[in-house]
Structure 1
Amino acid sequence: MNNFSKLGFILATLGSSIGLGHIWKFPYMAGQNGGGAFVLFYLFLAISIGVSMLIAEMLIGNKAKTNPVDSFVKLEPNHKSTWKFIGIMAIGGPLVMTFYAVVLGWVLYYLFVGSFNLPTNLQEAQTSFETLATGSLPIQIAGFLGCMLLTGYIVAKGAKEGIEKLNLILMPLLFIIFIGLLIYAITLDSFKEAWTFMFSFQPEKITGDVVLSALGQVFFALSLGLGTILIYGAYANDGENLLSSSLWVVISGIFISVVAGLMIFTFIFQFDGQASGGPGLLFISLPLAFSQMGVFGNIISFLFMLCVAFAGITSTVSIVEPAIAYLRDRFEWSQAKSTWVCCGAITIVGLFVILSITKDYGALFTFFGINLFDWMDLITSKFLMPLGGFLTLIFASYVVGKQRLKSFTQGFLSPALFEIWYIIIAYLAPAIIAIIALAPLFV
């Protein structure tokens, strides 16, 4: 097994966690749900619960040194094969990829086409996005296939030559471009308004719904419950300081989210003044704001979408790797063969996912009032990821056991820190995941 270098492991894990949701979801949630109070609350949850869960999943992978399915069997004291079913989390990545690659295809379109043909008014911006998302089937398929081919090409090269090299290049570039755009944003008059929008301290806005949303964002933003962190832990060197690695990942991810938010809302308030949530922020509000900058707006749009594409592609390579590792080990296939078989299956399903959101074919792929695109999102985010994360914590806490975990963490957790960490993963984090999963039934 080709192991990551220390820096490569941190950047690969960071690349996995920094995705499209970081760039459009976190900033808008902060602005609408308490500003600075939300940011501090999220930071507390991410450093306590998020870091603890990262360490648990990394640790299982690092000690087992195999794919997500076999890791649980290997670490179970009696090697009972029953525990391999926790590895079902590995199928979550390919399912996520069926719709994530569609959205990344939109990003690629806005990067190479939309940045040079910016809308001049809100109606044009909305129409352009709606046409792409629900009507332009050839363009959607081309973007999706481009994403799948790029992902397959990188992952087929393996952990060291493919995933690590990608992140060693793209993650520093993402930080450099984002900081450059932030410096430009600081020079604009609306930067103060953006700062106020994101950081005005409003604890009264922290409601029960906001708490649940923040907890869910911590969980999903860190790629937990998909086997991604586990397999990256397997590729890390023995003796890796998993505490410092986890802190780097969490704090760097929050930094990118905050920078993205300040930059996005500065541009929107300066040139447009309308901020929508979700994909509309990225594909409607921002292009319209960029268009008000003249020719310079095309450059800013290209650089920004390039960052979003970087964040997206570093996530896609991590999303599929757990399933590929299983195929490689189970059938003794090469990394390349495992990659292309997995990506081929994702592509077939993904084409139906694309059809499900089009005007002409959507009804054929809509079940119980929900189209296939939303079903994939629902199954993974509301079921597989929470279940995978919950079972991983239970396995680490009660099957691997406290004493073995203590011996595993002696190199990077003091006795006092270990006790705190164990309380979190054995009691607090499982309870929180259960709350996140069950809350929609009662809200």
Structure 2
Amino acid sequence: MNNFSRLGFIMATLGSSIGLGHIWRFPYMAGENGGGAFVIFYLILALCIGVSMLIAEMLLGNIARSNPLDNYPILDKLNTSPTAHDKLDIHNQSVQDLKPLNKSLMWLGINAIAGPLILSFYAVVMGWILYYLIFVSTHLPSDIQGSVALFNEIRTQSFLWQSLCFASIIAFTAFVVARGIKKGIERLNLILMPLLFIIFVGLLIYALTLEEFGKSWHFMFHFDPSRITLDTLIESLAQVFFSLSLGVSTIAVYAANAKEGENLLKSGLWVVISGIVISLIAGLMIFTFIYHFDGQPSEGVGLLLISLPLAFHSLGSSGEVISILFFIAVLFAGLTSTISMLEPGVRILCDKLNFSQAKASYTLGGVILILGFLVILWSNADLNMPTIREKNLFDMLDFLTTPPPCLCR
């Protein structure tokens, strides 16, 4: 069978959750929301709410063992038909004997569309990471003006390089998913996730040698009651959604391919705790580097691609090596997430249109490629593309796929 091994399932689920949400969003959201207050709220919500929601999504996929559109109708059938459990052939993942299904419940799985939509702009950001790894890590900017100009150039002007880097990310993602669960998704995660942890632990050890580590630790874990606001609570909850890949069907699809008898509680705890560890390592490491060049942790979304290159430059001769290792780690984390975003849509095409895994992967990858090129075009400052309420296509897709807690802001 094309199922995950036990270790493969944990690594793949961990790879889905550990991406830019942990390495980019967590540090800059902590910086903007008071450090310790945000971190403590996040830890509490991740353990109290995140674990429960993650395991619930795992159970949904593991019981139904189907695509996102059929998961809820299958659960409905299992709950309403006394003989449905006997008819469901879990080992072959066959639902033919359960038909007819209640098609009105399929809309509950429409959240699967969020994965490809997110991927269309997430891969654009991953393209920036790839560009920085190739071209910037060995030519780090020495002042803030140069760093801002570099970021704005790749984001709004350099259509060719941005497109090539973006297309490379999508092509690699489609190739891995086309190879299936065992030979593609599991194999990649079994390689990249251990390497990611090794690189991050190494960078953390290096950060420990810098005087500013104590300042970073204090910022991350000092609890200031005056920084507690409703926005801090909402952003912490939103971070739980982002960091655990909740609500976009990726976890359910992976769980549908887990072995029968998989201990989902144990797997879920491993994923959440490992994700928390990576977030904390990323925060401590990044803020140490930021403080080293007298930067501020509250510098927002520019923290990763504007402030950090300057911080790496301030490290002297070791800065380029640290920069290369860091962007490799971010690239690894992002790639394990992009493949998880593509898989739910591929599963739907395979089940509903009888596509092969490869045909579904490359077809959906092609659609995302076109949408991503439009995102890049809309961001090009020279084209003066129309906006809606001052939002370009990147911003609109980001808004449409925002987890529910963020909409409360």
Is TM-score (shorter-chain normalized) higher than 0.5? yes
* 1:439 and 2:408 matched: yes
Q: CA deviation at 1:139?
A: 0.8
- Residue 397 of structure 2: aligned partner: 376
C-alpha contact 2:31 2:299 (8 A) present in aligned 1: no
Q: CA deviation at 1:23?
A: 1.0
- Residue 393 of structure 1: aligned partner: none
C-alpha contact 2:21 2:242 (8 A) present in aligned 1: no
Unaligned runs of 5+ in 2: 81-100
C-alpha contact 1:166 1:314 (8 A) present in aligned 2: yes
Q: CA deviation at 1:211?
A: 0.7
* 1:40 and 2:40 matched: yes
Q: Percent identity?
A: 56
1:113-152 counterparts in 2 under 5 A? 113-152=135-174
Structure 1 window deviating more from structure 2 (342-351 vs 289-298): it is 289-298
* 1:221 and 2:190 matched: no
Q: CA deviation at 1:21?
A: 2.2
For residues 298 and 48 of structure 1, the distance between their equivalents in structure 2, rounded to whole angstroms, comes to: 40
Q: CA deviation at 1:170?
A: 0.5
What letter is aligned with 1:2?
A: N
Q: CA deviation at 1:109?
A: 0.4
C-alpha contact 2:28 2:301 (8 A) present in aligned 1: no
* 1:82 and 2:51 matched: no
Structure 1 window deviating more from structure 2 (73-82 vs 139-148): it is 73-82
For residues 272 and 328 of structure 1, the distance between their equivalents in structure 2, rounded to whole angstroms, comes to: 52
1:257-276 counterparts in 2 under 5 A? 257-276=279-298
User: What is the SS of the residue equivalent to 1:201?
Assistant: coil
C-alpha contact 1:272 1:288 (8 A) present in aligned 2: no
Structure 1 window deviating more from structure 2 (329-338 vs 27-36): it is 27-36
* 1:348 and 2:378 matched: no
The TM-score, its normalising length taken from structure 2, stands at 0.92
CA offsets 1:117-139 (integer angstroms, 9 cap, x no match): 10011100010001110010101
The TM-score, its normalising length taken from structure 1, stands at 0.85
Structure 1 window deviating more from structure 2 (27-36 vs 43-52): it is 27-36
CA offsets 1:218-252 (integer angstroms, 9 cap, x no match): 12221111110110110111111111111111111
- 1:74–1:345 CA distance, 2 compared to 1 (3 A): same
For residues 28 and 197 of structure 1, the distance between their equivalents in structure 2, rounded to whole angstroms, comes to: 12
C-alpha contact 2:234 2:406 (8 A) present in aligned 1: no
- 1:280–1:149 CA distance, 2 compared to 1 (3 A): same
- 1:232–1:277 CA distance, 2 compared to 1 (3 A): farther
For residues 205 and 187 of structure 1, the distance between their equivalents in structure 2, rounded to whole angstroms, comes to: 30
For residues 107 and 366 of structure 2, the distance between their equivalents in structure 1, rounded to whole angstroms, comes to: 24
Q: CA RMSD in A?
A: 1.4
> Which 4+ stretches in 1 moved above 6 angstroms?
none
What letter is aligned with 1:372?
A: L
Structure 1 window deviating more from structure 2 (245-254 vs 264-273): it is 264-273
CA offsets 1:32-77 (integer angstroms, 9 cap, x no match): 4343343232111111111111111110110111111111221112
Q: CA deviation at 1:363?
A: 1.8
CA offsets 1:359-413 (integer angstroms, 9 cap, x no match): 022424x2343111111101111xxx54xxxxxxxxxxxxxxxxxxxxxxxxxxx
CA offsets 1:91-128 (integer angstroms, 9 cap, x no match): 11110011000000000001111101100111000100
